[in-house]
Every structure is written in structure tokens, then in C-alpha cells.
Structure 1
Amino acid sequence: MTEARIAHSRLKLLALFAVFGLPMAMAWGMVEWRLGIPDERTAHGSLHPDLPQLADWPLGQVAKEGADDWLMAFDCASDCSASADRWWRVHRALGRDAHRVSRLRIGGTESKALPGESVVTWQAAPDWREPGALWIIDPEGRAVLSYGEGVEASNVLEDIERLLKLNPEPPLARLHDE
């Protein structure tokens, strides 16, 4: 072999090491020196990992439209028709992903349920209850995010869209529902 061919082969080998080694070195540097890692929050809601599973909430029978649905549960403390309408509009704004989310109104049984909404009441008010709060609950029944009474509907919509994007629907899920 000539010197030129040996140098060319070594150069190829170094390029191959660089292709596989540089990303690992960059990832290590990002973790070690916190370079390029965003520090800001991406969700507008609050995380409450200490909240019990939905099955352990002191509620009546909770009905969801689909078994794999996310749930928007809101505590209707006052002005229930306005709150129900507000969250119904957020639900409709989800567009093609609206079928993946169900709504649960807790309280406010005096006003009629809107389409796609189930209404239950607290059997006993838990100590973690926040009147007027909204909880986003995953298909397994865990409260993922919670919002206070004055939250902007656009912030909730943005968070739900992000959750649905990060947790895509299985490809054949619609066929199972039919």
C-alpha cells in the first residue's frame, strides 16, 4: 500500500470515530456544564404528584367517553354554566384530538351537562380540594397538571395539545372504539 492510501484510510477511520464520538462528547458536555439545556418551564399548570389517583377521589361514578381518554376535571364552585362553557370551548378547540379528551364537572348539578361532559359531586370534600380548580388527568387516572381558578384558557389548551402530542394515540386506537 502506498503512503497516500494509508493516510486516506486513517482519515476515514478518524472521520468514523468523529461521527460516533462527537455526539457522545457533546451530550456529556451538555450534562456536565448545563450548556444548551433549557431552564424555563414548558407547562403553565402546576405539578401535584401527591394528589391521589382519580379512583381514590371521593366522587360518584366517573364516566369517560373512551377508556384511553385524558380527562379535564374541573371543580365547579361558582358560576358553573360559565365554567362549563369555557372548558367546553377549550375541548372543541382541540380539533381532531378532541375525541381523546373527556370532561368531568365536579359539582354544579343544578345546570344541565353540556355535550361530552359528565357531572358528579363530591361525596366528601377532600383537604386538597381547590374550589374552581381544573385538573388534567392521564388515561391511568393520575393528575398530571392542575390550574387555579383564574387560569387563561389558552394556556390550558396549549398544555393539553402538548400532552397529546407527547403521548400519541396508538395507530389502531380508533378501530378498537368502533
Structure 2
Amino acid sequence: MSPSPRRVSRLKLLALFGVFVLPMAMAWGMVEWRLGIPEARTAHGRLDPAVPPLAAWPVQGVRKAGDEDWLLAFDCPAACASEADRWWRLHRALGREAHRLSRLRIGGSGAPLPGAAAAAWRELPPWRSPGRLWVVDPEGRAVLEYPAGVPADQVLADIERLLELNPASPLVRREAITEESADGH
């Protein structure tokens, strides 16, 4: 005995409701009861460090290449040529996304490497320590902090993740493409 056409239609309608309603109910349950949501953080650096916004840092000479840029700021003791070179190489490793990051060397001596800016502490803040590295968002908030000697590959992975999760606006992307074609790259 075959099912009636009316019964088949009802089963199809229930299956259609299930396809659309069941995922929403599962998502609501995951959020409400925190089921299946990972609690671990994936950043290698310290998230949300206890440092003031960049505008309040006692630093003179802070500048970024663009308003939408992220900033890699590092505290440079007197001799830090190898550290500056390491962060320059990390910047180059970003490839097509390199235009979204500016570098700032705070302290140290000599001219900064290409693409970096140099600044000096007016006074030493209590949260500062030599060799420390900060990743600052476009609004000037430090979002990640690293101790001296952190492996560059960990910092690179975090920056790539940040840039992936915070895509550039279409206007900024268009300007970067225009600059690259004008430079002959």
C-alpha cells in the first residue's frame, strides 16, 4: 500500500521546515547553553594588554602610513638592529597585505629601516619594557602584546589572522592596487 499524495505532501513540507528551522534551533541552543563553542583563544600574544591608547603614549614622532593601517610598535633598546630587521622581514612576509601594516620603532639609534618610522619616549611609562612588541589597531588601541624575544612566526600568524578577520574597506583596497600599479609591481 503506497502513501497517499496528501501524506507525501505533508512529509515534504515537514522536511522543508526541518531544513530551515533545525539549523536555527541548533545555533540558538549552542549560543544559549554554550555547547560546541570553543573557549580557547588562538592568539600567541597577550590579548587586550593593559596599555593606554596610542594617542596617550608618551612618545614623540608617531606616524602611520595610512589611517586604516594596523601598527607594529616595538620598544627598541639602544642596540636593536637585529630586532628591527626581524620585524622588517615579518612585514615583507605579509605579501599583498603588507600595505595594511605600519612599523614604529620606539627608541634605539640610527635611521629606521625602509617603511618604518622612528620615535622616542619622552618619558618611560610603567608598562614599558625593552624589546616589547605591540600590535595596535587602526583606532590606536593595543590589541596584542608580546614579550621580548617572541618568535616572529607567532607574531606573523596573529597579524595574518587579524587582517583576515578585519578586511580592508573597498576604497583602501582600490588605493593600494592603484599604488602598486603606479610603482610598477
Given that residues 75 and 130 in structure 2 are in contact (C-alpha distance below 8 angstroms), is that contact kept between their aligned partners in structure 1? yes
Deviation at 1:62, TM superposition (A): 1.0
Within a 5 Å distance, the mapping from 1:129-144 to structure 2 comes to 129-144=128-143
Alignment of 1:18-167 (within 5 A): 18-108=18-108, 110-167=109-166
- Asked if the contact 2:49–2:144 (Cα under 8 Å) also holds between the matched residues in 1, the reply is no
Residue identity in the other structure for 1:170:
S
Superposed CA offset, 1:58-111 (max 9, x none): 111311111111000000025311110010000000011111100000000x22
- Return closer, same or farther for 1:165/1:127 CA change in 2, 3 Å cut-off: same
- Classify 1:93/1:87 alpha carbon distance in 2 versus 1 (closer, same or farther; 3 Å): same
Give the TM-score normalised by structure 2: 0.87
RMSD: 1.8
Query: What percent of counterpart residues are identical?
Result: 63
Q: Is the 8 A contact 2:61 2:120 kept in 1?
A: no
Task: State the 4+ residue runs in structure 1 displaced beyond 6 angstroms.
Answer: none
Give the count of matched residue pairs: 175
Partner Cα separation in structure 2 for residue 55 and residue 76 of structure 1: 19
Unaligned stretches of 5+ residues in structure 1? none
Q: Does the 8 Å CA contact 2:134/2:145 hold for their aligned counterparts?
A: yes
| Kept after mapping to 2: 8 A contact 1:78/1:132 | no
Check conservation: 1:47, 1:144, Cα contact below 8 A: yes
Under a length normalisation based on structure 1, what TM-score does the superposition of the two structures give? 0.90
Partner of 1:9: 9
CA contact (8 A) 2:61 2:118 kept: no
SS in 1 for 2:4: helix
**Cα distance in 1 for residues equivalent to 2:8 and 2:111:** 78
Q: Deviations over 1:100-136 (max 9, x none)?
A: 100000000x222100110001111111112210000
Shift, 1:33, TM fit: 5.0
